[in-house]
Amino acid sequence: MTLREMSEQRKQALAAEFELTSFPDALKHAQDVIVAQDDAVFRAQAHASNPPLIAAMRYAVRGGKGMRAFLVLESGRINGLTSARTGLSALAVEYMHAYSLIHDDLPCMDDDDMRRGCPTVHRKWNEHTAVLAGDALQPLAFDLLCDPCIGDARIGLKLVRGLARAAGHQGMVGGQMMDIAAETRDTPYSLDQIIAVQQGKTGALIKWSATAGAVIADAAEDEFNALDLYGEKLGLAFQIWDDVLDIEGDAQAMGKAVGKDAARGKATFVSHLGLDGAKRRARDLVTEASDALNIFGDKAETLRQAARFVISRDS
């Protein structure tokens, strides 16, 4: 194939992204973007190869649902952007998420042997490889956000600062710290405290993802705020469903252990609200998430479908 034909094919593929209006297709597309972009990143960095470290990093990035990448791509799509502009940011948040999962599974954290149907990184390699693979994925996420193909430096800075805050002590890591502390507390967390844990450990990265497309497109403030509210409601529904699945889910389908929260005596949305109450709350949040997107009209239908998926998924 000639270079001209290749670039024509790429143009057609990018144009086809605007036709992706069904959530399953768009999620599959997000998974394909993760794989393709990750291949490209590591092809470009081949000279720096350290085989076990890179194998562990890439292993940890594969096999997820790709929800965060989907949110970046879709928030970009409804703001008129293709994956040529949003693909690296979609991969960046999946790197950050993969690092959080590698560390979450370590013996000093949740001590899990299985993730996405495969041995966890410390099980497949060893603990130091797992710690370091997570450590290396995190700065790589920021590296990707500095790529000029995303936009001008002002946009890059917004993305980097936003992700730094979403991932750090005010966000994911802070939430993880509170979550681990829940295991040894004398008094279980109240519902409000559980919401605060969730806003950090799961909510912050989901919110960043749902707004990333608006940041890259330099969208108007009300469009950013609509996606921000959608991300907040969706993130909460997502974690409620994670807690529901920890009780009702099937380990085989989930590809990870279940029943861990109760075994560790953790207060969760389910322990506070009961299974039915937690599901009702999640359903209400999905309605609120969908309503938050009214200003986008029909364009946002795939994001609304995504919200419904979050509380019907079995993995």
Interaction pattern, residues 202-221, with ligand IPE; x per rule: CB under 6 A: x-------------------
Interface pick for Mg ion out of 79, 242, 303, 310 (rule CB under 5 A): 242
Interaction pattern, residues 67-106, with ligand IPE; x per rule: CB under 6 A: x-----------------------------x--xx--x--
CB of 112 to Mg ion, least distance (A): 6
Asked if 278 is part of the footprint of Mg ion (rule: CB under 5 A), the reply reads no
- Specify the DSSP element, H or E, that contains 32: helix 23-44
Question: Rounded to the nearest 10 degrees, what angle do helices 83-104 and 127-145 cross at?
Answer: 160
Asked if 110 is part of the footprint of ligand IPE (rule: CB under 6 A), the reply reads yes
Give the closest residue to 242 by CA, choosing from 310, 298, 182: 310
CA separation, residue 273 to residues 106, 234, 268, 269 (Å): 29, 18, 9, 6
CA angle, corner 130, sides to 125 and 133, nearest 5?
115
Q: Which residue is nearest to ligand IPE (CB)?
A: 64
> Among residues 28 and 299, whose Cβ is nearest to ligand IPE?
28
Q: Find the binding residues for ligand IPE in span 234-253 (CB under 6 A).
A: 239, 242
SS3 119: strand
| Matching residue, tokens 């889910």 | 249
CB of 57 to ligand IPE, least distance (A): 15
> Among residues 94 and 246, whose Cβ is nearest to Mg ion?
246
Asked if 130 is part of the footprint of Mg ion (rule: CB under 5 A), the reply reads no
Residue 115 sits at φ, ψ, to 5 deg, of -150, 130
Question: In angstroms, rounded to a whole number, what is the distance separating the alpha carbons of residues 176 and 168?
Answer: 10
